[in-house]
Chain A
Amino acid sequence: MNIIPFFVILPLGCAFLISLFGKRIKNFSDILATLVSIFLFSLSLYSIFLVKGFKILVYKVGGWVPPIGICMVLDGLTSFMLVTVNLVSLLVVIYSLSYIERYTEKFRFFTLFMLMLAGMNGIIVTGDLFNLFVFLEIASIASYALVAFGTEAEELEASFKYAVMGSVASSFILLGIALLYSYTSTLNMADIANTLAQKASGKLLSFISVLFLMGFGLKAALVPFHAWLPDAHPSAPAPISAMLSGVFIKVLGIYALSRILFNIFGPIMPVLNILIVLGILSMVVGGLLAIGQTDIKRLFAYSSISQIGYIFLSLGIATPLAFLAGLFHLFNHSIFKSLLFLNSGAIEYSTGTRDLRKMGGLISKMSLTANTNIIGSMSISGMPPLNGFWSKLLIVLACVQSGHFILAIISVLVSILTLAYYLKVLKGVLFGAENIETPVKRITFQMQFSMAILALICIIGGLVLIPNLSNLFLKPAADVLLLGKGYAKAIFGAVQ
């Protein structure tokens, strides 16, 4: 039996059932959503063993053979992304079981959440370019609605801004797909790569690359296109902020872009240089803007932009070590950024404020949140035993190895900048004078559980670099990116 279609079918079916029965049957949405996300996570872990040793699985939708029909692909990079997404979504679902009680209409939340998950899993497994666009829109529309979930003035405003910019980005992506179709007359990714290899690369291909860079760059919040992120991510409910900052921008932006740029077009020097420049720009600008913030969720959002820059920088360097470092940082960032956003949710849940100037001295009142917050902050700013240190170290090493000394220095400096604004968070939230008069509300067990697990992964995350684990989890993913245009041959090899 082929497990690939279940990554899309399960969340989609779950969303459908919850929207039908969620209102009538009590606790139906909680139980179904938890069960489905546990099942999806175990399925994604199982998929790692399926692709062990360069294997590629292809599922033909409806039995049509790939160049004609749609296919779904499971390779190293796919299973790596699936594990990341489904791990974070499982913990976020557990967290939201009690957190989302603050809002009405809990079942609608889980419906939209599962739709978003179906879209993201679909983007990861699909091997067809237009199918990717459809899943991208499913995920995006669900996320527009989730940002506006609280229906307060600010949330609606942020959601409108996000939806307008997101739709423009989607139009650019569709335009790119239309041009690519007119050039190659096929939509299957592997087939496009084959056709492009036979044609001489012309100006049109650069134009299409730019369109995709613009569209997916806006979804990933690279710096010239970042304006929506600091509004949209803080306005969403905390679990959704964790999901959006943790995995959403990576799947829609980084994964989709790197699949297209590396596996379909093949790495071209000018495009790689653009990636490096945009990456550096995001790192520096995001970091500098983060320092001035006083709303903690807004600060975390700017820090996301900065860390996304690291990943793009390492993708742009495009050496084997750089790919490994970039993907490892992607995994780590999804862990600690979702931890930090869940923490901010817990702080808001207990104290009722997100303003750094209004809180202080929470370390004596909320010991678990305080500890996980310290772990998350230290991890993202690259303190030695935690996972963030290892990935940043690898990125700096990759810069040095490929001879980009200036980039290495900038990465180190931005890391120090990161430490500076996270120290500001720690000082403002945990230490200092206690100036909250109202009694602190205790956070529930489910919230504590998710935060504790994420913090644990932050501590032991460096172990992924041990050769045995790395060969299983990270290396196959980096190898797919390194394969470049060999991807097409591998897919057609797997079909026969």
Chain B
Amino acid sequence: MSIYFLCLVLFCIGLYCVLRKRNLIKIIIGLGIIEYAVNLFFVLVGYRFGGRAPILAKDQAVLNMVDPLPQALVLTAIVIGLAVTALLVAIAIRLYERYGTFDITKIRNLRG
């Protein structure tokens, strides 16, 4: 149980980082932490303690195997996360060229 709780803590750290930090790069890192927390949780969902790799061979009984589906899904989610991070970093670099700063409190042309 405690392992799921730690997962939640990691998620909250990421959320705090996105909400409170002022540096664009730190916000992007926060997003990465959120993604990892969710991915970790997804892998944990399919994990069996003491389980083995889900390979079906002739002489092995189908006993206590780890669920392979979440692992496949998490691989996809990681690739998607990579695309988002790359795009965000590219935008952050362009923002730095325009404003000369990474501080979001100084990047405020738009307001509600």
A contact set with B: CB distance below 8 Å: 130, 133-134, 137, 141, 144-145, 148, 151-154, 156-161, 163-164, 167-168, 170-171, 174-175, 178-179, 181-182, 185, 187, 227, 230-231, 235, 289
CB within 8 Å for A156 and B91 given contacts A134-B76, A164-B27, A174-B38 = yes
Contact A168 B18 (CB under 8 A): yes
> CA of A366 to CA of B24 in the docked complex: distance in angstroms?
43
CB within 8 Å for A174 and B98 given contacts A160-B24, A167-B31, A168-B34 = no
Residues from chain B with Cβ under 8 Å of A161 in the complex: 110
Residues from chain B with Cβ under 8 Å of A159 in the complex: 91
Given contacts A170-B84, A181-B42, 5 further A-B contacts (CB under 8 A): A153-B98, A164-B18, A167-B35, A175-B41, A185-B67
Interface string of B30-51 (1 = CB under 8 A from A): 0100110010011001000000
Contact A157 B70 (CB under 8 A): no
> CA of A120 to CA of B91 in the docked complex: distance in angstroms?
23
- Count contacts on B: residues with CB < 8 A to the other chain: 34
CB distance from A360 to the nearest CB of B (A): 25
Contact B109 A163 (CB under 8 A): no
Contact A148 B34 (CB under 8 A): no
CB within 8 Å for A164 and B45 given contacts A141-B84, A174-B38 = no
CB within 8 Å for A178 and B98 given contacts A153-B109, A163-B91 = no
Contact A160 B92 (CB under 8 A): yes
Contact B45 A171 (CB under 8 A): no
Contact B84 A167 (CB under 8 A): yes
Contact B87 A141 (CB under 8 A): yes
Which chain B residues (94-112) contact chain A, with CB distance < 8 Å? 94-95, 98-99, 107-110, 112
A-B contact pairs, 30 of them (CB 8 A): A133-B77, A134-B76, A134-B80, A137-B80, A141-B83, A144-B87, A148-B94, A151-B94, A153-B98, A153-B99, A153-B109, A154-B109, A157-B109, A157-B110, A160-B95, A161-B110, A163-B87, A164-B18, A168-B18, A168-B31, A171-B34, A178-B38, A178-B42, A178-B45, A178-B70, A181-B42, A185-B67, A187-B69, A231-B110, A235-B110
Most buried by B among A141, A154, A157: A157
Q: Interface residues of A: mostly helix, strand, loop or mixed?
A: helix
> CA of A152 to CA of B73 in the docked complex: distance in angstroms?
36
Among residues of B, the one whose C-beta sits closest to the C-beta of A144 is B87
CB distance from B11 to the nearest CB of A (A): 8
Interface string of B49-85 (1 = CB under 8 A from A): 0000000000000000001011001001100100110
Among residues of B, the one whose C-beta sits closest to the C-beta of A161 is B110
> CA of A137 to CA of B79 in the docked complex: distance in angstroms?
11
CB distance from B91 to the nearest CB of A (A): 5
Contact A174 B77 (CB under 8 A): yes
> CA of A159 to CA of B84 in the docked complex: distance in angstroms?
12
The 5 A-B pairs at the shortest CB distance, nearest first, are namely A182-B45, A153-B98, A178-B42, A137-B80, A231-B110
> CA of A164 to CA of B94 in the docked complex: distance in angstroms?
16
Contact B38 A164 (CB under 8 A): no
> CA of A185 to CA of B77 in the docked complex: distance in angstroms?
18
Residues from chain B with Cβ under 8 Å of A137 in the complex: 80, 83-84
CB distance from B94 to the nearest CB of A (A): 5
CB within 8 Å for A164 and B98 given contacts A148-B91, A175-B41, A181-B45 = no
Residues from chain A with Cβ under 8 Å of B24 in the complex: 160
User: Which single member of A157, A167, A174, A235 contacts B42 (CB below 8 Å)?
Assistant: A174
Contact B31 A164 (CB under 8 A): yes
Residues from chain B with Cβ under 8 Å of A289 in the complex: 112
Contact B95 A156 (CB under 8 A): yes
Contact B88 A130 (CB under 8 A): no
